[in-house]
Structure 1
Amino acid sequence: MLSWILLIVALIVLVVLGTWIWGLVFGPGEIMDTLDEPANVVYNNRSAVRNGRLDKVKFEVVARGYRQDQVDDLIAQLEKKLASAQKESKLEEKEVN
Structure 2
Amino acid sequence: MLALGDEVVAVSVQAEPEKASALRETWERWNPGVRLEVVDGPHRSLVEPMVAYVRGETGTGREVAVLIPEVEPRHRRYALLQNQRGLLRAAVPR
More strand by share: 2
Q: When the two structures are superposed, what TM-score results if normalisation uses the length of structure 1?
A: 0.26
Structure with bigger gyration radius: 1
Between structures 1 and 2, the one with greater helix share: 1
